[in-house]
Structure 1
Amino acid sequence: MTAAVSPQPSAVEAFLARAAAGLRPDPPGPLDPTSNPRGDHDLEPDVLGAALAHPPRLAAVLVPVLARPEAVTVLFTQRAAHLREHSGQIAFPGGKIDPADPSPLAAALREAEEEIGLDRSHVRPLGYLDPYLSGTGFLVTPVVGLVDPAAPLSLNPNEVADAFEVPLAFLLDLANHALHSREWRGRRRRYYAIPFGERYIWGVTAGIVRNLSDRLSQAAPR
């Protein structure tokens, strides 16, 4: 008698199981010592002192995951070229947490609506990654959300030049993560980079992807 073979979970089912096991259910407070923020200091420890010289500026981003029939993907934006800060860079929808925002989740959803026209009714929040402390003093809370692939998007040209998707499997594969460096404030600094075709994901965004890979990999079945 042939033993029954258990059906393999679909890609989205496997992702949701890993997300449930690997993501934080609640965001840690900005001064919570257990928050263990990731950040630019992971590669350049001397950046930490400068980043903490003043109270961090709080921000939140949405990491939008889409369950398409052919693959699970992650949505990124390319910032508009005319912006004063980080122009043309690859990012997640997000920004500063306003005083009127009741939570990092609310801020991330608000910013996603403003930047790419993503209605929050199409987003299922799944959990949080570790906060990310940038060398410029922003403490970013990344919120992972499952987005309806049929959700209509409308890019705000004042903030966003383009939006595109990258397969989740590509992002989770550390073979696609590189260490690059550049001059910053008079010193050569290292940072994570994830080239994808003509796209160049780097800096804070790549660091957040790195944390996503770490957390989901730890939750993967052995």
Structure 2
Amino acid sequence: MARRWTRRLMTLADTLSMADFRVRAAVRLLPSPPDPDDPDTVPIGEFALLAPDRVPRAAAVLIGVVPREEPQLLFTLRAKHLKVHPGQVSFPGGKRETDDPSPLATALREANEEIGLDPALVTPLGYLDLYVTNSGFGVVGVVAEIDPSYVVRLEPSEVDDAFEVPLDFLMRPENHRVEMREWRGGLREVHHMPWRERHIWGVTAGMVRNLHERLYGR
């Protein structure tokens, strides 16, 4: 079982229960995955850093909420030997394969490959906005509920750990930090949310921020 932190925090306006989360998700999340080819799709993230003619590659991640007494969000720690983003906190997920019929299928496949998550224990709740990364991926965040009985089986070639962080902590704006960093002669905005010895930052933190804005920010 993934490690989880049990420190008790004051609930977010006394509303951050799993029941309230489900209600907000049903009303405020996108009911279907954002289509990058749809002119009405407004991407977020680092799309402004890409060349205008560059088409983002499709990817998806699983943003899994575990309905414990204190709801938790599931993360992974990428393996330190990887060439791309080694040792970074992330959500289970990755590039969409040609035989993946949907972003949901991609997220479930990747979660199963990385941490052995049984797709039967995952209940989709909705989708976040399309998040474009400076590395050229258009990432669909699949928000879902994960049965707390799940068991982790790490794939060591991909991840070093899986762990949970209290949703209450992540949904508090005072825990959301932003830095401006130099990148290719310009400046880029970088989100980060330190939690204990874990450092949630970059795209992962940006997607957590998007989850907050959609469910609790307005």
Taking structure 2 as the reference length, the TM-score comes to 0.89
Q: Which residue of 2 aligns with 1:5?
A: none
1:126 and 1:144 in contact (8 A); partners too: yes
Q: Which residue of 1 aligns with 2:27?
A: 21
SS in 1 for 2:65: strand
1:58 and 1:139 in contact (8 A); partners too: yes
Q: Which residue of 1 aligns with 2:103?
A: 104
Q: Which residue of 2 aligns with 1:40?
A: 46
SS in 1 for 2:216: helix
Q: Which residue of 2 aligns with 1:78?
A: 77
Q: Hey, what's the Cα distance between the residues in 2 that align with 1:189 and 1:38?
A: 13
Q: Which residue of 2 aligns with 1:64?
A: 64
Q: Which residue of 2 aligns with 1:191?
A: 190
2:64 and 2:143 in contact (8 A); partners too: yes
Where structure 1 has 5 or more consecutive residues not aligned to the other structure, the ranges are 1-7
Please give the residue correspondences for 1:117-132 in structure 2 after superposition, counting only pairs within 5 Å.
117-132=116-131
Per-residue CA deviation, residues 116-166 of structure 1 (Å, 9 max, x unaligned), is: 000100000000000100111100000001000111110110000111111
Q: Which residue of 1 aligns with 2:36?
A: 30
Letter aligned with residue 61 of structure 2: V
SS in 1 for 2:107: helix
User: Structure 1 pair 150/53, CA: closer, same or farther in 2 (3 Å)?
Assistant: same
Q: Hey, what's the Cα distance between the residues in 1 that align with 2:100 and 2:139?
A: 14
Where structure 2 has 5 or more consecutive residues not aligned to the other structure, the ranges are 1-13
Task: Find out whether 1:212 has 2:217 as its counterpart.
Answer: no
Q: Hey, what's the Cα distance between the residues in 1 that align with 2:72 and 2:177?
A: 20
Q: Hey, what's the Cα distance between the residues in 1 that align with 2:22 and 2:139?
A: 23
Query: Displacement of 1:53 after TM fit?
Result: 3.0
Letter aligned with residue 18 of structure 2: V
Per-residue CA deviation, residues 147-189 of structure 1 (Å, 9 max, x unaligned), is: 0011111011000011111111111111000012434334443
Q: Hey, what's the Cα distance between the residues in 1 that align with 2:30 and 2:186?
A: 35
Query: Displacement of 1:190 after TM fit?
Result: 2.6
2:193 and 2:201 in contact (8 A); partners too: yes
2:176 and 2:193 in contact (8 A); partners too: yes
1:22 and 1:218 in contact (8 A); partners too: no
SS in 2 for 1:34: coil
Aligned length: 205
Per-residue CA deviation, residues 52-103 of structure 1 (Å, 9 max, x unaligned), is: 432211100000100012x001000010000010111110000000000000
Query: Displacement of 1:10 after TM fit?
Result: 8.0
Letter aligned with residue 53 of structure 2: A
User: Structure 1 pair 10/27, CA: closer, same or farther in 2 (3 Å)?
Assistant: closer
Please give the residue correspondences for 1:155-194 in structure 2 after superposition, counting only pairs within 5 Å.
155-194=154-193
The higher radius of gyration belongs to 1
Per-residue CA deviation, residues 6-63 of structure 1 (Å, 9 max, x unaligned), is: xx9881111101111111110121211222111125xxx4x1x42x432211100000
2:56 and 2:138 in contact (8 A); partners too: yes
Q: How large is the Cα RMSD of the aligned pairs?
A: 1.7
